[in-house]
Structures are given as C-alpha cells and as structure tokens.
Amino acid sequence: METEFGDRCLRVIGSSLPGVIFCMVACGFGGTLATSRAAPPVADSIVPQIAFINEQIEAVWDDSGLKPAAAASDGEWCRRVYLDLIGRIPTLAELEDYLKTRERNRATRLVDRLLGDDYATEYARHWANVWTTILIGRDTNNRMVDRDGMRLYLSESFKANVPYDRFVEELLTATGDNADREGAEQFNGATNFLSGKLADGGIQATAKTAQIFLGLQVQCTQCHNHPFNSGVKQNQFWELNAFFRQARGLRRFDGGRRVAWVELVDEDFAGQGGNPSEAEIYYELRNGLVKVAYPVFIDGTEIPRSGLLPGQLPDGEPYGINRRKELARLVVSSPLLPKAIVNRLWAHFLGYGFTKPIDDFGDHNRPTHPVLLDGLAERLQQYSYDLKSLMRWIVLSKPYSLSSRIEAGNKPDAPQLGEPPRFARFYPRQMQAEQLYESLLTATQADQGDAAEAARQRDRWLSQFVIAFGTDEGDDSTTFNGSIPQVLMLFNGELIKTATKLDRGGFLSDVASGPLRNRDKINVLYLAALARRPSAVELQEANRLLLARKGEAAEALQDVWWALLNSNEFILNH
Amino acid sequence: MVFPPNQQLPVAGLPRRHFLSHLAGMAALAGPASCFTRSLLANAADLKKRHKSAILLWMGGGPSTMDIWDLKPGQATGGPFKQISTSADGIAISEHMPLTAQQMHHLAIVRSMSTREADHQRGRYYMHTGFVPNPNVEHPSYGSVIAHELADAIEALEIPPFVSVGGGSVGSGFLGTAWDPFVVNADGRVRNLDMGIEPQRLAERLRMLAAVEDRFMGENRGALPGDHRKVVEKTVRLMTSSQLDAFKVAEEPAEVRERFGENNFGRGCLMARRLVEVGVPFVEVNLGGWDNHSDIFTTLADRKLPELDQAMSALVADLADRGLLDDTAIIWMGEFSRTPTINGNGGRDHWARSWSVVVGGAGFRRGVVVGETSTDGREVVSEPYSSQDLMASVLRALGIPLETSYRAKNGRPMKIANGGRVISELVA
C-alpha cells in the first residue's frame, strides 16, 4: 500500500469502474485543467443576438470605466453552464468530455447538447423545479395544490419546449383535475397555478399573475393606489381581478374529509349585483366608499362585461365570454410579457436582473440596461418565445463567461454593495437547494431510481428548509441560505452520510477500491466535486489525513470527500 | 492562539466537551477563528449572570390591535368584543386576553403607532429593521442588531445569539450571514446534529476543509465565502455545546408545558425563556395566522387570542418569577394592524395608520399606556410613533447606546435604529 498521495508519474488506466473515467486523471489531462485559462468560450460562435448582448454590456463597461474580469477557466465555465441549464454539476465523464475537446466551437456545442435531446429529461426536471417554486412557492401544505401534478405538467411542457406565450396561456386558462390520480379523469397539472389562489375572490391569482408574467407588483393596490408606482391604481387591481371571477376550484374528496384533488372549472358568474350581463364586482376605497369594477386589462383594454360563459341562444345568437381566455389573450400580447421573462432568465443566469426585484417594473424602478432588456424582449418575440434560444444567447455571451474573481478593474462593479450590476464579473452565488441536492447525487453517482419517487424524496429533503410566513398571501422563505441549518445538513445530514459511506457499490468505495494510485484517487474526488485538481497545499493536507488514518487510504479519502462537499467552492455557483 | 498540549478543560463531566480538547490541540481554524477556539474554552459558569436579552413575539399577518389592546366598544368600527380591566390601573384590554390581563403591570401598550407600510413583505421588513425596503441596501433586523451588540458580553455563549422559533424573521442584512437568525421549529429538535464520527476525526476534516477554503478565498471572490466560513465556525461551536439542552422544551415538567400551552407558540415561548436563561440575547417567536380578511371575530375569539393569551401570559409571569424580567425586554408586534372598517366578509383588511404594540420588562416603564387613538380608531390623536422610534426605545431599554452607527457595505454610515427617537413615556 502506498503511504502517501504522492506526486508520481501517472499511468493511463482504463475505465474499470462504471461511470468513473479514470483515464482522465492521467498526466496530459490534468495538465490542461490546471492551466486552462484558454480563450473565453464565447469566442467560438457569435450570432447577432449574442453580439448584441456583448455590445450593450461592453458599452456600459466603457461608460463606467470598468475592465471585465478574465475569462473563467474551462472547468469553471463548464460547471456553471451545467448548473444553470440542467440544475446540476457535470459528472466526471461529462467534464472530461468538454475539456478534452479541442474543437473551436466546443462551448456552443456543449450548450446545444445541454439544450438538445440528450439532456431533454434533465433540462425539463431542472426547469420544472425552478418554475414550481415560481408558480406555487415552496410551501407544501396548501391542500388546493398538488405539487406532483404541477411538476408533471411543467416537466412535460419544458420537455416539449412549449413556446413561452403558449405556456402562459395554458397556465391562465387551465381547466380540469389538478392531480394525476385514479378517478381524476381530466388531469391537467397546469391547473395548479390557479387552484390554490382563488380564495377571497382570487386576490392571489390576481397578484401572482401580474407579478410573475407581467413584472408588476399590484398586491398592495388591493386596498389603495400603489404608494410608489404611479402606474398602478386600486381600480386596476380589481379590474384585473374581475377576469378570475368565473374560475372555481371544486374540491373532490376521497370518501373521507381529505381533499383528493381539485377540479378547476369556469362557471357563469352573476356578479355581486346579481345581474350576469353586467357581472360587476365591488371594492372599497380607504375612505369606505364602495366602487364597482368590470374586467379591464392593465393597459385599459375592456372586454364585454357579461359574466356568462360563451353559449348560443336558441336563435343561434352567441352570448357570453370566457374571461380567463380573454385575459390570457391580453397577457400574451402585452409588451411586458417578454420583458418580464427576459429579466427573470437574465437574473437566473447572471445572478442579478436588470431591475431589483426582478418582478417590479415601473417608473419607480428603472432597469440598469434598458436597451438590452427591450432588445432581448423584442428578439425573443421574433423567435416565437423560444426560451431555449434566449438561454443560448445568454450563456454564450461574454458576461456569462467571465471569472468570478474580483480584480482591480472590476472592483467597482459591486451589486452586493447596492451598486447597479454591470456584469463585469460573474457574481458567485449559493446553489439553490434543488441544485445542491442534484449535484450531490451527481458527485456521488447515486442511483436515483424512479423519477416520481426521486422527486418526492427531494421534496421531503427540501421541506426541512421551508419557512411559511403565516400570511394569506402564502409567502414563504427558505433557511437554505448559507445559515447554520444548511451547514449542519452538509456536515451531518443523511445525504452526506450516504455520500461519504464506504459501502460497496458506492462512488467513494469504487474510487477507493479501484486500481488508481492514491494521488489519482484524490484527483478524481477533486474533479468530481470541484472540476479541478488539488493544489500542493491541499495535497499536503490530504497526506496528513492519510497519516492520521494510519495509512487507511479509503478512510482518508472519506475525509477529503467530506471536506470537498462542505467547501465554498462546491456549494457556490462561481 | 495555541494551547499547550494536555491542557485540562475547565469544564468536566460532559462527554461532548472532550471534543474541545481535540480542537484546542490543533490549529485547524487558526487565524480568523482564534476567537472561536477561545470561547470554546470559556467556562459556562463564567456566564455573566446579568446579561440582557430580548424576546420578540412576532404576529405574522398583521393582528387587529383594535380587538386586542385598544378596544372601541360601541363604535361602528369596534367589533363585538368587550373590554376587561387588568392588573394595571386604568388599563383595559380585550375580554379574550384574561390571563395576560393579569400580567399587564409588567407590560406597556403603545397605542399610537402610525406607519405607512401595509403590504406584508414591506411591513415585515420595516417593523423588523426600522427602515423601509430599499433595493440598494439590506438592513439588519432587530435580532441581528441586538445579537451583534450584546453577544460579546456573553463570552461563553455557544449557541447562536439570534434564534428564531418558527421563522418569519428578517435577516442580518449588511451585518453579514453570521448574524442571521438560527431558525428552529417549536419542537426544539435541531436537525443533523449528530456527527457520527470521533471528535478527533472531525477536527482533522475541518483542517482539510480549511485548506480548500484558504485556496478559494485567496482568489478574492467577494464576501460570500468568508461569511460561509464564519457560519461553519458557529456551527461547530453549536454542535458540540451542552447549551443545546436549552432547545429541549420537552424536558420541562408537564405542568409548565401545559401552562404555556401545548401548541407551537406555547412551546416557542417556553423555549424563548429557556434560551434567555442560558444567555441568548435575542429570541423571536413567530405566531402567524393574523391576516384575517374574513371572519375575523370568530377566528380571534376561538383560536388566535386564546393561544396568544395563554403563552404570552405564561412567558411574562415565568420571566418575572425567575427574576429575569428586569433584564429581558419583551416586544409584541406584527407588521401592521387591520382596518377599523369591518369589510363585507366580516374581516378587516391591512391598516398601518393607527395601531398598537406592546413592550415590557428590561428598562421599560410598566403598567402604562402610551398614546391614544380617536374614538373610531382611525387616527392617532397623540404624538404618533414609528418603527424606528419603537426600535430606539427597545435598544435603550437594553442599554445599547443609540449613538452606535454601522457602515453599510456600500460605505454609507447607518445609524442604529435609523436614528429613531426614544418614546419618552416608556422610559422607566
């Protein structure tokens, strides 16, 4: 047995272990990693949309005298693009695949692969997670919502790459059963966006629709005009709310008192005055005065007032209107729709949006890069709301390719200090809980089994971090924010215990019992977790562990692995 | 800081404490972490007896203070509740708070709060920090400020100085993640505490981790990694502390648990008392469910007020009995209150213009009412007070100098409590 993780000449060894590519740690490969600060990945294929992003971002750098950070290393960039596009770090094999490729347009090829058929399932799973949180929050206690149903709809939708405008239309107009259960014959998971938001006349449906799809914060205008955004008035809240008044969530019981599922339907709405041809609603001003509201979209477009669903009189004369369908039509043709999604996705990939918060447009909150925001919105529309195109432009742009290091030239670009973001470096950020979970499974090559069961397991794991705020708006937050509970979970949680187990068949045991020399085994762990090789000092520490474990290399590897999974470098997207 | 080998620890008898000797023998977290090792070795018995603490009872959703602390019987806005007299001369509160009524001589009601934030998120932020939300800077909340100011005085504290039972707190803002609330459930079970390995081995792992962190942080990636490292240090301290027992409310006698109420808020208040006893400077206990847009009076009378009344009264009485009240400030508040007008659904909507909060203990004058609202409750007719005024008063009651000022991350100086004025009627 070797007694240290020595720096010897390495042999190329075939991949004798399933899933672990051992040849990658051989001399040649390791060398490229350590020194890989090659040309930025953006250089390889510039389409006009990417050029547009680069120009706009560079113009701001020039104006503010900023020098962008150097390019991220290939390993860093590869890790980043996996995390942001499919929600997990690359496996060893994937990392090697990218790093060994010498083609000039390898960055583009990687992005296209991640957005293509090979990764369709993982892409869909990741974006279904992201949108589940956006659409129904993290709280798992709302009985009017079925998380599985929501996720099922979302993953199918992202798998099929449904254009964003159609996606929004489907969510706003969905009818049917919200859970995929026996007896629920008209399953439509899209109903879950609204099924839990219809209480009290659909106040939440109104607020969330405006916030998520149009980037407008209207929740406070329920009771009064917006205090800062002169563009949003109280009457507009209720006029928007009127569009939801035909929607009803009917609870279906499982024989007992438990809600088995919710059926979302549209019904005739007689209005609060009892006259369905007017179907008005009332709301109260601060001074007690009662006012009337009819469905009017935020841009002032009125629709016929009837509360009756479409039908035909015996003489063939059509009557009535479906208010949600009208709303969806107006939302998807609103100029705010593409802006809101561009801002949201930009923030997803770059860490900050063009406004803060990302879903609060208005004169009170000017975007940092207005031309870029409008330009990308316009281009997205030209591309028929194809989100994958937008993602591709962003991740292949220059700002996405930069290192996260603070250097003299980019130091003033400090959004964390309240400065407007100028994207002169990549802003490091915590992985989302979902990303960390999936990345731990990836790093440890854990068998994920059945997809639905895997999703439920993940939900259980995530639920330990959820805090509900106890308001009717269903606000919630997560303790997965770098605080002590998260550190405890990474120190001692089940997931980590499993990951650091030496049980046969596990990743760690495969590495430990494999034919590699000790030094190469350490390299494998570093590459799997951090997409780089250890430094001399780190190697020295690893050797100290080997000594402490009295030469039991497997146990020392266990310790190194634990340390890597607990490091900033692992838990940050940087 | 280096310790001679084989140094005996001042505390004996706790197996967990063995861990400390292992840590002390190594320089795993040397440098920035030296204060960590130092406090690991501090003796719990050295704990200053007279440390100051504060307990915030946070009423998430915005409770209708007109139905609790400032009743308007007989008015159109008044609702159906009657008032009852209390142990404080001349003070009457809701009939659904009979137990707390017996503790009013320890408390003070401020009936002249007047604020402008009537959105949940904004109100929660404003009442917790004294600042209105600003996209460019995140302000620290009560718990972070008070923990930051008082934690140094409690050297032997091994558990986090800001504990939030049930969540809902606002975080540390520019003070950094190290001052974020430690969120626990009311059952007091802290997850993932068990190391499952020998202390010596954990110490060695931490040393390996330090090597990885040093390299990454040497590359200048901003404040985030440094914050995380501090949290790791706090976590190690917590994991190995016998003070963790303070979370175990289940170990209280059944009689005591019943007195506080066998529900989450009752257990949370009991835990707050236990945490204050070991020296935690700030505990926030969350009670949600006050966003009563419909059916407010049944909800309050049947559920919310009995739950509040039982736990709050037990907490005040217990702190007083144990001689802790003079050093423990109590603050009861939500993000705002509810409309004097009763809406069509028998509920009340959001209202910030005229409302009440309750304080007590520490350096507060007690058994008094401050301020007044109009007969229908729609206006404050005395001098109105703001969130920052309340915060300044709380800090003063804890002996924290109001001249304290911070430098936000953007370099701008920030006065503690946003420069609020102390509410003079609350000064004992």
Residue B43 forms contact with A (CB below 8 Å): no
Are B192 and A220 within 8 A, CB to CB? Answer: no
Burial of B402 (0-12, 13-18, 19+ CB in 10 A): middle
A170-220 residue pLDDT tens: 999 999 999 998 888 899 999 999 999 998 889 899 999 999 999 998 876
Centre a 10 Å sphere on the Cβ of residue A242 and count the other Cβ atoms it contains: 28
Cα B368 → chain centroid: 23
Q: Residue A136: enclosing H or E segment and its boundaries?
A: helix A120-136
Token digits of residue A565? 């999974």
Token digits of residue B106? 């320890």
What are the residue boundaries of the structural domains of chain B, listed by start? Answer: 53-192+246-426
Question: What mean pLDDT do residues A276-305 have?
Answer: 89
Are A406 and B220 within 8 A, CB to CB? Answer: yes
The structure tokens 């995380």 sit at B228
Which residue did the predictor score with more confidence, A283 or A386? Answer: A386
Report the Cα–Cα distance between both ends of chain A, in Å, rounded.
37
Q: Which residues have a Cβ under 8 Å from the Cβ of B268 and sit 6 or more positions away?
A: B165, B166, B186, B285, B286, B287, B311
Collapsing DSSP to helix, strand or coil, A549 comes out as coil
Question: What mean pLDDT do residues A38-67 have?
Answer: 82
- Number of A–B residue contacts, CB under 8 Å: 205
Q: What is the CATH number of domain B53-192+246-426?
A: 3.40.720.10
Chain A residues touching B224 at Cβ < 8 A: 416, 428-430, 482, 568, 572
Are B341 and A288 within 8 A, CB to CB? Answer: yes
In B151-284, where does DSSP find H-type helix? 199-217, 223-239, 254-260, 264-278
The structure tokens 């100011």 sit at B149
Residue B351 distance to chain A (closest CA, Å) = 9
Looking at residue B420, the DSSP 8-state letter turns out to be P
**Residue B266: closest CA among B218, B319, B316, B314:** B314
Are B214 and A200 within 8 A, CB to CB? Answer: no
Residue A219 forms contact with B (CB below 8 Å): yes
- What is the sign, positive or negative, of the torsion defined by CA atoms of B34, B37, B41, B43? positive
Q: Does the pLDDT of residue B83 top 80, yes or no? A: yes
Are B275 and B283 in contact, with CB atoms under 8 Å apart? yes
pLDDT bin (cut points 50, 70, 90) of residue A231 is low
Residue B253 forms contact with A (CB below 8 Å): no
**Dist. CA A411–CA A399, nearest whole Å:** 15
Q: Does the pLDDT of residue A307 top 80, yes or no? A: yes
Question: What mean pLDDT do residues B315-333 have?
Answer: 97
Among chain B residues, the shortest Cα distance to A416 is held by B409
B228-273 residue pLDDT tens: 888 888 888 888 888 989 999 999 999 999 999 999 999 999 999 9
pLDDT bin (cut points 50, 70, 90) of residue A284 is confident
Are A188 and A131 in contact, with CB atoms under 8 Å apart? no
Q: Does the pLDDT of residue B9 top 90, yes or no? A: no
A71-128 residue pLDDT tens: 999 999 999 999 999 999 999 999 999 999 888 889 999 999 999 999 999 999 999 9
Chain A residues touching B234 at Cβ < 8 A: 484
**% chain B with pLDDT above 70:** 87
A425-484 residue pLDDT tens: 999 988 888 888 888 888 877 766 677 777 778 878 877 776 655 555 556 666 666 788
**Residue B56: closest CA among B127, B148, B140, B118:** B127
B85-118 residue pLDDT tens: 999 999 999 999 999 999 999 999 999 999 999 9
How high does pLDDT run on average in chain A? 86
Question: What mean pLDDT do residues B7-12 have?
Answer: 31
Are B300 and B71 in contact, with CB atoms under 8 Å apart? no
Centre a 10 Å sphere on the Cβ of residue A132 and count the other Cβ atoms it contains: 23
Residue A119 forms contact with B (CB below 8 Å): no
- What is the sign, positive or negative, of the torsion defined by CA atoms of A46, A48, A53, A55? positive
**% chain A with pLDDT above 90:** 59
Collapsing DSSP to helix, strand or coil, B110 comes out as strand
A518-530 helix and A536-548 helix, angle to the nearest 10 degrees = 120
The partner residue sitting opposite B60, judged by closest CB among A416, A429, A471, is A471
Q: Does the pLDDT of residue B14 top 60, yes or no? A: no
Strands A318-319 and B182-184: unpaired
Chain B residues touching A489 at Cβ < 8 A: 191-192
Are A279 and A306 in contact, with CB atoms under 8 Å apart? yes
Chain B residues touching A563 at Cβ < 8 A: 205-206, 208-209, 211-212
**Dist. CA B111–CA B381, nearest whole Å:** 10
Among chain B residues, the shortest Cα distance to A535 is held by B215
HSE-CB at B243 with a 13 A cutoff on CA atoms is: 23
Strands A259-266 and A176-177: antiparallel
Are B24 and B37 in contact, with CB atoms under 8 Å apart? yes
Chain A residues touching B209 at Cβ < 8 A: 562-563, 566-567
Are B406 and B413 in contact, with CB atoms under 8 Å apart? yes
Residue B234 forms contact with A (CB below 8 Å): yes
**Dist. CA A25–CA A96, nearest whole Å:** 9
What pLDDT is attached to residue A73? 94
The structure tokens 């004097």 sit at B340
Residues 453-472 of A with CB under 8 A from B: 464, 467-472
Report the Cα–Cα distance between both ends of chain B, in Å, rounded.
44
Rounding to the nearest 10 degrees, give the CA dihedral for residues B41, B46, B49, B52: -30
Cis peptide bond N-terminal to A421, omega within 30: no
The partner residue sitting opposite A488, judged by closest CB among B191, B225, B339, is B191
What pLDDT is attached to residue B6? 32
Q: Residue A394: enclosing H or E segment and its boundaries?
A: helix A387-395
Which residue did the predictor score with more confidence, A18 or A430? Answer: A430
Beta bridge pairs of residue B92 = B85
**Dist. CA B177–CA A215, nearest whole Å:** 29
**Dist. CA A336–CA A516, nearest whole Å:** 56
Token digits of residue A474? 């269903």
Conformational region of residue B109, where left means phi above 0, alpha means psi within -120 to 50, and beta covers everything else: beta
pLDDT bin (cut points 50, 70, 90) of residue A140 is confident
ipTM of the complex: 0.82
pTM of the predicted structure, to 2 decimals: 0.79
Residue B202 distance to chain A (closest CA, Å) = 8
What are the residue boundaries of the structural domains of chain A, listed by start? Answer: 162-332
The partner residue sitting opposite B208, judged by closest CB among A406, A469, A563, is A563
How many Å is the Cα radius of gyration of chain A? 27
Are A232 and A142 in contact, with CB atoms under 8 Å apart? no
Are B290 and A468 within 8 A, CB to CB? Answer: no
What pLDDT is attached to residue B367? 97
Among chain A residues, the shortest Cα distance to B226 is held by A568
Residue B232 forms contact with A (CB below 8 Å): yes
In A493-574, where does DSSP find H-type helix? 494-499, 507-513, 518-530, 536-548, 553-565, 568-571
**Dist. CA B36–CA B229, nearest whole Å:** 12
B262-308 residue pLDDT tens: 999 999 999 999 999 999 999 999 999 999 999 999 999 999 999 99
The partner residue sitting opposite A487, judged by closest CB among B166, B217, B235, is B235
Among chain A residues, the shortest Cα distance to B378 is held by A287
pLDDT bin (cut points 50, 70, 90) of residue A495 is confident
Looking at residue B287, the DSSP 8-state letter turns out to be E
Among chain B residues, the shortest Cα distance to A547 is held by B204
pLDDT bin (cut points 50, 70, 90) of residue B385 is very high
A387-395 helix and A370-382 helix, angle to the nearest 10 degrees = 140
Chain A residues touching B291 at Cβ < 8 A: 470-473
Cα A340 → chain centroid: 15
Are B48 and B399 in contact, with CB atoms under 8 Å apart? no
Residue A200 forms contact with B (CB below 8 Å): yes
Residues 249-288 of A with CB under 8 A from B: 282, 284, 288
The structure tokens 């931490």 sit at B206
